[in-house]
Structure 1
């Protein structure tokens, strides 16, 4: 489940306390209480929380659900809660977007999200927001683009370029959207339960997307969602909800993608051993593979192959979407002349082509994700200068599990 800054602090404090107890004969260190972690008074303490959400002061931060939340015996999802706090959801427009590659990074700039998150029943919030918006005549900007990717394949560059337009709201890797998409697989893996209604889960995903792309600013006429790599496994579900939204799938040569995906601090794919998507689990069964016994390189290559296959199948079967290789993105004019028009921004480009070209050029020469950079400073970057070590293990795993997918995508 996604966690707020406060819960991350509590978790870290718990690990430190346990380590201290093991290293000495002293009693365990007391973990600070929730009240003690409230470093400041909540400036919105006297305001109605639902009113804050309806007016757009508080935004969705995360969701929580239970093992029975999507039981087929229910007529609607139950036991689902949303965490809300005050943060600037357009910080990636106000400041350099490379500094805020995900919604989590935007929330980390907010003391309110770290100290005063509000938890409310999500269905109650959705009903209240819907009624409010109808009464005041407010409508969400249409979702005009969905960005799926393998990871480390240039989707962040396009997301950052989209965020430079005054008319766009770009929602990059919202944890609530990720968790909503993974809900049934999570319940199956964690609770060994098959009772998870796809229709109820889909309703949750729809509600979460509506909350995440909500804006009362009439000047915003386009919304875009950049999903994390894991979410590519659920591209069909997203497209069932947003069938008319243009979508892109970003990929890179398999050796490089796998090498980057298995680097220390980037190898989140290893967690798929215990939390596989249904697609990954089914492919492992089909191949007679035990995920527990796989090396990191083989496991991550198998995982990436499922993302490739899901995206390619969607592209071929629906005859929609755009497959975008990393090599194409760094070609002069490709983003401005091909990708952005496909995502509905031709009018904005025509209004000021020089400005758009300059903004895109800046994104192409800036590291798309500066998280973890000392001082959180923008870093200049050149694709031609990037050196990536590809080990023999990576090459072998890539050839074994990703070679066929690369051949298919290159023929399309």
Structure 2
């Protein structure tokens, strides 16, 4: 079950979450895992920050967060947003470039309310330069960052990824926030953080840039192949849609694989004796391995190969992840109960901190459920004032 009592290393920090999509909510959720109090703002008047309470994704992105409604197109709503921001240590937004600043919630306005505030903007290209006003989603970030050329098959189009590129930006955002908090702890100073989704991904492909600069080469998709390892691929196994990944990094590992295949002579075959030879005959190599794996269950085969010192793993689907013994032993799955969706299994943070654990404290809250606390306790509004603001569609 979720642990409501765990404080976490960021206990005492408060985050105002003005994000949407995947990258922003995932980042603020990680801050919540670390113990920060996260207040998510939704608005029926602004579709980009709406989220329905019965959306299955809600427990993937909104765990550990309180939720309030607020009409940011109403001056009274903006006043409440400013008052709320003044009560927060961190404000995170990933709206269209410049839109939050035009509402009067940009960094310059926020630090007048609270000089030590940390404000973060996540956009496609970041501020400065001719592309600063461009908008985008994960496939666009993949294309513009150079990452697209690392996916897809030789001779085919560049690959497109969905969602996980956003999670790269999320992790960079959390890293930057933690750095800003350390700086604030030492100096008392807040600061503005500007993060580019495109550049978050470009930071992963420095080798492509270096190759182009030094050798004049442009990368092309290579499928599952890796220029310094062979074999390096996924292979079909017995059963339905079952696969195993195998990667060989040394000649010793290659010899061990040949022994497990019952084909020790392949280790001495001139086509496969060294990594350069294997790289030159990958199609033949993959065909031989694929024929061998096709008659075997991936889990049992991976266990045998691991025991022989060969890097191998079954390709797991969602059901298999939920049933995975190692993940269960690590405590990576916890059951939460959502007011509408009921009991659901969610994944805990992948880090294990010995003294200040990151935890799932509760399921996603319903829209507006945090208003008595946020508007009443934090901002000091009376029940009558809150009721009037609801009636006037300011809290909406």
Q: Into which bin does the TM-score normalised by the smaller protein fall? A: under 0.3
TM-score (norm 1): 0.23
> Would you tell me which structure has more strand in proportion to its own residues?
2
> Would you tell me which structure has more helix in proportion to its own residues?
1
TM-score (norm 2): 0.24
Whose radius of gyration is greater, 1 or 2?
A: 2
Q: Which has the higher contact order (CA 8 A, sep 6+)?
A: 2
